[in-house]
Amino acid sequence: MILVEPVETVAQASLPPMLAGKFARLASIDPRNPLADDGDRQTLSLFGREDLIAAVSDDYRPGRCSPAIGVAGVFEEIETRARATSIVIVNESHERSQHRGFTAEVARRLRPLGYDVLAMETLMNDPPGLAEDKRSTFLKQPTLPYLADEDGYYLSEAGFGRLGRQAKALGYRLFPYEPNEDGPAVERTWEQRIALREEGQASALAAFLRDHPGTKLLIHVGYSHAAEVPREDGSRWMAARLKQKTGIDPLTVSQISCRGSGNSVGLSALPADEPKGSFDLIVDHPDARFERGRPEWRKQAGDSVVSIPYLLRPTTGWRVVEARPVGESTASVPMDRVAIRPGEDVALMLPPGRYALRIIDPVAPVAVAKTPVNAAH
């Protein structure tokens, strides 16, 4: 592992708008007490600090379940069932990077089965008629080996960026399907907003499949978007609507229903409090563990623990350290991005290679923009 000098230092004000907003959100979190007032857990996770939220987040709290009966290994079962359909939907917690690493492995295994499009909830869906120079990088420069920070809200988390790199290397086409909110703002209830969004997502995906016959589609979503049947409150989410529109029974895989039932990833039975038929497979990850502030699953996936040089560590407030392959544009989602505080010995997690470092000190604005609508679920 080689860290190449010089280290670049940049001001937050020079960053693209959406990324600068994320840094501003981080700066608004008290580094001495990051979980005060319930904390901004998604932002801490986005900047590589899942270790700070694991003790208080429901998405890390053990939710042990009974083992699934009559199934093969996790990936073998997914492969077998994926052969019987042309749509596979995998959900995630927006606070657990391991879920993105899991989908990256699913993408690798499904590619030989003919799956060729990866649709991701997080991808920016450019409005019709947008000028070419304003379009998202993944659309106007699809051959780049990386995703750009401005390509989507959650993509700034390094694990999400690596999912994009893996998909591009495998030859997947990336497809955005989040509805565009055109026209004047309309006051709606929470239930109305959910229904409108889910209908828009399902309609966009169904139209794409209609226009591209023979496509096999892998969809990466958050939380309940993967539910195949109405939830307890009667709400119908994207997967249920897409199934109805296309007549295709998707393979739905939940990573959020069970946690910590074993020492390795396995398949569990659907919990009794979930509506029957919600998901086809329940992936049960072991309890999260951390080494020097970073998730151990990345080490198990081939990363090395790399010390941040002492002179780069902050003396006050947050500092964000990024690592990119030497020569790569700083518009890319870095191979790793982590926020550190004074006195911490938090590490970078990197695969073999030569990396250039960049450091940025977040600055809080007078008012922080609200999280986008697709950052809630």
Q: What is the pLDDT of residues 50-109, one digit of tens each?
A: 999 999 999 999 999 999 999 999 999 999 999 999 999 999 999 999 999 999 999 999
Grouping H, G, I as helix, E, B as strand and the rest as coil, residue 74 is: helix
Show Cβ contacts of residue 249 under 8 Å, excluding neighbours closer than 6 positions. Answer: 85, 243
pLDDT, tens digit (0-9, with 9 covering 90-100), for 148-202: 999 999 999 999 999 999 999 999 999 999 998 765 667 889 899 999 999 999 9
Average pLDDT over every residue of 231-250: 96
Tokens 């690493």, residue located: 101
Closest CA to 333 of 103, 82, 100, 163: 163
The neighbour count for residue 38, using CB atoms within 10 Å, is: 7
The H or E element that residue 354 is part of is: strand 354-360
